[in-house]
């Protein structure tokens, strides 16, 4: 067997290939060495920035929302610290053994928590629960679950619940005002959030505070004009009347005639702003400011005021109301009785539509429109409440004779309960109209004279007859005090005209007559009991609430003789 030569068995040598391979490895090593030198020595900020991107976060530091107080310093809206629970679905598995315990603490079904984590597994952050109590957050934290984190927040709490619900309003989950005073003064109440830089670990937990970027500034406190005692009294009185009369709704406004401050404002049905489930549009609107109605006979004192201003009438001028009806165009205007020949004062006392119409038609329509405009109808009241309605008062140039007639007794225009209260307060203030205010005044605001004082005093005296013998509202009396007021029983408007059996029962009044302090309007919408007249439905509410208010405010009685005429058991306590 022939042996192959040794040279044939030797592998060929390629010295250039070896050198090339060594050169590539050398170059790669040099590039890596240079990059390490660059990152570690020449430009270390790059790695630092990358680390910051992954681990340093800026947290918002929520600002404590300002507290809302009543005029006597009682808190009506306060912010309490709570915590929100978040998760990192990339870290927390839907199959984690502690997940059932977590779901129980969150008051969530286990399936919902698992579905949420599974559906957001590509996200690095989701909320599991907002605004839980610190105690519950501590129990969740004790589970030591990976990917669970917490954020500090504030939650609004309303100690007076539904008593102040319509006025105060509420905030949303982000603590922003959504309704009422909370919305109207949100910018002032909210404050300014701060910022903090923190270091988080891979599970998003804060492991260190890097630096304070800015400090949070709490919101400004707010003091309302409302009195918690009077608000409660008004709420109870109105709620009882609505319930007893099986009414659809109701509103009550109580105002200080000396400066326009609203001391109480309530509506029915009410809602509890602490219960988010009750925040439905029909419940949370403040009807006293956002809803309008035709004021009916409560407008007659202003019609008579125009007559007195003309110089052609005095409280004793005779008015022939005939058999209790008159024809204006194709409309017949009626009284509820046959009053015959009565004077101007009796037009108010008896609430004669015929008398008011005859007086109004004898006067320039511009004068009637001017009075309604001066006392604030079809204008903002100054309360700065969101959603305030202006009402309706047609341009006088568009009036026809029938509108001239019906406006005299309160049909053909619309007002809000707050507007009507403000107009009556102007009579009580001797003819001076003040802006309505839901905030407590530091000093008396400037008022505008809209009625001559002599005429305002005459109107008060005539309206005092409404609650006297032969008047339409003896049930509005308050023992120990002289009361002036006016009833209104209004047919509700419907498509094609006015409903025969649907009413608004209204009473507007002022007390005490000798030195007026308070004005109040009570409106009960669609009473379905045995009575529907304002003197029978709304006047008793006025009496009950006004009596309590005068006593709570220590207003001196100006009619002690009435206590002797009509004593009550509590008068001897």
Which positions are annotated as active-site residues? 297
Beta partners for residue 433, in sequence order: 448
Q: Is the confidence at residue 180, as pLDDT, over 80?
A: yes
Count of beta carbons in the 10 Å neighbourhood of residue 297: 26
Query: End of a domain among 189, 223, 257?
Result: 223
Task: Answer with the residue of higher pLDDT: 142 or 296.
Answer: 296
Residues 397 and 538 in one domain: yes
Q: What is the pLDDT of residue 572?
A: 34
Let me know: does 252 contact 163? Beta carbons within 8 Å.
no
Would you say the C-alpha torsion 253, 76, 270, 230 has a positive or negative sign? negative
Residues 98 and 209 in one domain: yes
Query: What's the pLDDT tens digit per position in 464-483?
Result: 999 999 999 999 999 999 99
Does residue 321 fall inside a structural domain? yes
Residues 277 and 412 in one domain: yes
Torsion (CA) 156, 159, 163, 168 in degrees, nearest 10: -30
Residues 233 and 267 in one domain: yes
**DSSP per residue, 176-238:** -EEEHHHHHTHHHHH-B-EEEEEEE-TTS-EEEEEEEEE--BPPPPEEBS--HHHHHHHHHHH
Residues 274 and 318 in one domain: yes
d(C-alpha 160, C-alpha 166), whole Å:
11
Output b/e per residue, 502-528; b: 16+ Cβ within 10 A: bbbbbbbbbbbbeebbbbbbbbbbbbe
Residues 245 and 169 in one domain: no
Query: What's the pLDDT tens digit per position in 241-251?
Result: 999 999 999 99
Does residue 540 fall inside a structural domain? yes
Task: Answer with the residue of higher pLDDT: 141 or 318.
Answer: 318
Residue closest to 460 by CA, chosen among 477, 481, 432, 483: 483
Residues 455 and 471 in one domain: yes
Task: Answer with the residue of higher pLDDT: 397 or 279.
Answer: 397
Q: What is the pLDDT of residue 31?
A: 74
Give the HSE-up count for residue 559: Cα atoms under 13 Å, Cβ half-sphere: 22
Q: What is the pLDDT of residue 315?
A: 96
Does residue 19 fall inside a structural domain? no
Q: What is the pLDDT of residue 112?
A: 87
Q: What is the pLDDT of residue 571?
A: 46
Does residue 434 fall inside a structural domain? yes
Place of tokens 């290939």: 17
Residue closest to 361 by CA, chosen among 397, 328, 321: 328
Does residue 239 fall inside a structural domain? yes
Q: Kindly state the helix (H) or strand (E) to which residue 76 belongs, with its residue range.
A: strand 75-87
Torsion (CA) 260, 266, 267, 273 in degrees, nearest 10: 120
- Looking up residue 217, the CATH number of its domain turns out to be 3.90.1310.10
Does residue 18 fall inside a structural domain? no
H-helix segments, 291-376: 300-310, 344-350, 353-361, 365-374
Could you list the residue range(s) of the whole structural domain that residue 349 is in?
Answer: 228-572
Residues 364 and 390 in one domain: yes
Look at the chain and report how many structural domains it folds into: 2
d(C-alpha 441, C-alpha 460), whole Å:
26
Q: What is the pLDDT of residue 131?
A: 82
Let me know: does 167 contact 437? Beta carbons within 8 Å.
no
Query: End of a domain among 223, 243, 266?
Result: 223
Query: What's the pLDDT tens digit per position in 320-357?
Result: 999 999 999 889 999 999 999 999 999 999 999 999 99
Count of beta carbons in the 10 Å neighbourhood of residue 531: 14
Residues 232 and 185 in one domain: no
Residues 264 and 160 in one domain: no
Residues 335 and 375 in one domain: yes
d(C-alpha 189, C-alpha 168), whole Å:
12
d(C-alpha 373, C-alpha 395), whole Å:
10
When the pLDDT of each residue in the chain is averaged and rounded to a whole number, the result is 87
Identify the weakest region by mean pLDDT among 22-26, 126-130, 140-144, 530-534.
22-26
**DSSP per residue, 31-73:** HHHHHHHIIIII-THHHHHHHHHHHEEEEEEPPPPPPEE-TTS
Q: What is the pLDDT of residue 192?
A: 82
Q: Using DSSP, state whether 299 is helix, strand or coil.
A: helix
Does residue 119 fall inside a structural domain? no
- Looking up residue 296, the CATH number of its domain turns out to be 3.40.710.10
d(C-alpha 127, C-alpha 153), whole Å:
13
Residues 279 and 186 in one domain: no
Distance from first CA to last CA of the chain, Å, rounded? 144
Most confident of 34-43, 111-120, 497-506: 497-506
Residue closest to 522 by CA, chosen among 532, 503, 537: 537
Length of the chain: 573
Query: End of a domain among 201, 223, 245?
Result: 223
Residue closest to 486 by CA, chosen among 429, 410, 392: 410
Token pair, residue 37, equals 């030198």
Task: Answer with the residue of higher pLDDT: 205 or 368.
Answer: 368
Does residue 45 fall inside a structural domain? no
């Amino acid at each position: 067997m022939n042996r192959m030569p040794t040279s044939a068995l030797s592998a060929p040598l390629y010295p250039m290939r070896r050198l090339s391979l060594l050169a590539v490895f050398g170059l790669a090593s040099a590039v890596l060495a240079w990059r390490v030198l660059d990152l570690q020595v020449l430009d270390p900020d790059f790695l630092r920035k990358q680390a910051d991107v992954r681990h340093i976060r800026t947290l918002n530091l929520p600002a404590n929302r300002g507290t809302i107080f009543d005029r006597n310093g009682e808190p009506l809206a306060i912010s309490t610290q709570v915590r929100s629970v978040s998760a990192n679905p990339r870290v927390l598995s839907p199959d984690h053994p502690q997940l059932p315990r977590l779901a129980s603490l969150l008051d969530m079904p286990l399936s919902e928590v698992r579905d949420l984590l599974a559906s957001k597994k590509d996200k690095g952050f989701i909320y599991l629960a907002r605004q839980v109590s610190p105690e519950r957050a501590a129990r969740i934290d004790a589970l030591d679950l990976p990917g669970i984190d917490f954020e500090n927040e504030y939650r609004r709490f309303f100690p007076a619940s539904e008593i102040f619900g319509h006025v105060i309003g509420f905030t949303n989950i982000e603590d922003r005002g959504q309704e009422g005073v909370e919305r109207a003064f949100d910018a002032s109440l909210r404050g300014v959030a701060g910022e903090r830089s923190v270091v988080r670990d891979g599970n998003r937990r804060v492991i260190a505070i890097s630096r304070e970027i800015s400090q949070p500034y709490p919101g400004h406190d707010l003091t309302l004009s409302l009195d918690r005692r009077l608000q409660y009294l008004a709420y109870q009185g109105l709620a009882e009347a609505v319930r007893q009369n099986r009414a659809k709704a109701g509103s009550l406004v109580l105002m200080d005639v000396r400066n326009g401050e609203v001391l109480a404002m309530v509506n029915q049905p009410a809602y509890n702003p602490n219960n988010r489930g009750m925040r439905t549009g029909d419940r949370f609107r403040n009807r006293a400011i956002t809803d309008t109605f035709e004021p009916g006979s409560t407008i007659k004192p202003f019609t008579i005021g125009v007559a007195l201003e003309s110089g052609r009438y005095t409280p004793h001028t005779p008015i022939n109301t005939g058999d209790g009806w008159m024809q204006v165009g194709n409309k017949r205007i009626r009284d509820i009785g046959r009053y015959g020949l009565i004077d101007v004062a009796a037009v108010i006392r008896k609430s004669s539509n015929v008398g008011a119409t005859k007086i109004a038609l004898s006067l320039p329509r511009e004068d009637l429109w001017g009075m309604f405009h001066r006392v604030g109808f079809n204008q903002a009241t100054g309360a700065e409440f969101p959603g305030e309605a202006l009402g309706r008062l047609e341009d006088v140039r568009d009036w026809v004779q029938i509108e001239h007639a019906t406006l005299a007794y309160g049909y053909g225009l619309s007002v809000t309960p707050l507007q009507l209260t403000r107009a009556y307060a102007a009579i009580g203030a001797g003819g001076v109209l003040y802006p309505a205010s839901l905030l407590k005044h530091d000093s008396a605001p400037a008022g505008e004279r809209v009625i001559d004082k002599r005429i305002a005093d005459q109107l008060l005296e005539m309206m005092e007859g409404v609650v006297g013998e032969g008047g339409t509202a003896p049930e509005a009396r308050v023992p120990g005090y002289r009361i002036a007021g006016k009833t209104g029983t209004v047919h509700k408007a419907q498509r094609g005209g006015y409903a025969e059996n649907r009413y608004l029962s209204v009473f507007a009044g002022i007390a005490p007559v000798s030195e007026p302090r308070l004005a109040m309007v009570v409106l009960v919408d669609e009473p379905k009991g045995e009575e529907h007249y304002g003197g029978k439905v709304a006047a008793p509410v006025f009496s009950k609430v006004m009596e309590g208010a005068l006593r709570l405010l220590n207003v001196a009685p100006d009619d002690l003789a009435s206590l002797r005429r009509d004593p009550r058991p509590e008068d001897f306590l």
